[in-house]
Chain A
């Protein structure tokens, strides 16, 4: 069984640029969530996708957007990068929308904005 995989693992961008992060969900999981983990903090919920639709969003501005594809993989896009966007971005998958909240996390993509 393949777990959640994310790419790239590390990347460096400059302020104002755009970034795309990718996530492959665990086999059999059709729900993907994205979390932002700033240094020294716990993860914060960005949004969740189920059957290619966003069905929940945290307190993040519209420049954070996403996609989910028919194979349940997902992308997180961030436009107009700011210094505060520097963080570890975690993708998590789960086996269905109506699940109890047990999430399976990838190892994350560490974004540095200069």
Chain B
């Protein structure tokens, strides 16, 4: 069965510092990969996605993620964090083909706190 592991439950960084959030997955094939962000009282917003091709993908709000097949990882990075980035971040995987139910499997999330 597929699974997603986000080993860091809570991360605290200072504003302006760099950020890396870890994500490891278990899946029968290379899945579609996603990072979503959830602010308090809000739904989930897609930051970026990987389907195929270039393993470094760019997303919104200055985020990027790198897919590493050998490590089954899809880590999220940002070179300089802003106070508005404080939120919960979810990594998710989905079936690597269309025409089926888009059942995403989510990790348990990483809560990001940004210090002034």
Contacts and interface: CB of A to CB of B under 8 A. Distances in A.
Interface in B38-66: 41-46, 49, 51
Given A48-B102, A99-B98, A105 B43 contact: yes
B109 A41 contact: yes
A90 B44 contact: yes
B104 A97 contact: no
A43 B102 contact: no
Interface string B70-100: 0000000000000000000010101100111
Interface of B: 4, 32, 34, 36, 41-46, 49, 51, 90, 92, 94-95, 98-109
Interface of A: 4, 31, 33, 40-45, 48, 55-58, 90, 92, 94, 97-108
